[in-house]
Amino acid sequence: MKKNIVLFVLFILPIVAYLFFASGINSFTKLPVITPKIDDFGEWQSLKGEKVSLNNKITILGFSGSEILKNRGNFFNLNEKIYQRYHTFKDLQFVVLCPLGTEGDTKKVVDALGAFTDVSQWHFVFASPQEINAYYNQLKLVGKLDKNLGTPNVYIVDKERNLRGRKEKKEYKEGYNTFHPADLSNEMLDDFKVILYEYRAALKKNHNATKEL
């Protein structure tokens, strides 16, 4: 009896474990596209007066709304749970669309983050309320902006400007709630790792692996 148990542990169990994890990896090597080819930002400028583009970048996209100071805790949650772990990756950026007129409040948030974080990959981009509404609407999402043009959700956009998430009805996920740290630590972090895995696998396949991803 003991011999059979030893044989099972040594030979059968590793095979079962391998098949289990292999099937799991195959199931999650692609994060579905929720909305393909979303618009770029055009001539909109950041707090630093720079133009920011979604092209060739993995982007975490957010909408601050006019009450950015009131909701600054959301950015601190995102900064702690995701940004600080991955902001050194060359191909990653965090972009927040803000209404024109909120530059002063936005700078206060950036300065507060900058007290303990390298904020070089944070980009706060400004547009008119009408432009922000139009831009959000073309994302074709279930969720809506609030009356202040904001949402606690952030979205994953790949290098080809596809908004990514989970499409199955039981676990549909188009955005990740920054108000809830657990949502960032669990669902968003899991999905974000899938995106990184996709690009790492593609680089490896093309014999062009780099440390940036």
The pLDDT of residue 212: 53
pTM here is 0.83
The pLDDT of residue 22: 40
* 3-state class (DSSP) for residue 135: helix
pLDDT tens digits, one per residue of 48-79 = 999 999 999 999 999 999 999 999 999 999 99
- CA distances, 40 to each of 33, 109, 124, 167 (Å): 17, 24, 14, 23
C-alpha span between 57 and 78 (Å, rounded): 18
Of 64, 63, 73, 62, residue with least CA distance to 181: 73
The pLDDT of residue 27: 45
Residue 46 and residue 124 in contact, taking contact as beta carbons nearer than 8 Å: yes
Pairing label, strands 122-127, 58-64: unpaired
Residue 33 and residue 164 in contact, taking contact as beta carbons nearer than 8 Å: yes
Alpha-helical regions (H) of 54-207 = 72-78, 84-86, 103-114, 129-137, 181-183, 189-205
pLDDT tens digits, one per residue of 156-206 = 999 999 999 999 888 899 999 999 999 999 999 999 999 999 988 877 766
More confident residue, 101 or 171: 101
pLDDT tens digits, one per residue of 138-153 = 999 999 999 999 999 9
pLDDT tens digits, one per residue of 12-36 = 555 444 444 444 433 446 899 999 9
Backbone phi and psi for residue 118, each to the nearest 5 degrees, phi listed first: -75, 110
The pLDDT of residue 211: 47
Residue 103 and residue 110 in contact, taking contact as beta carbons nearer than 8 Å: no
* 3-state class (DSSP) for residue 67: coil
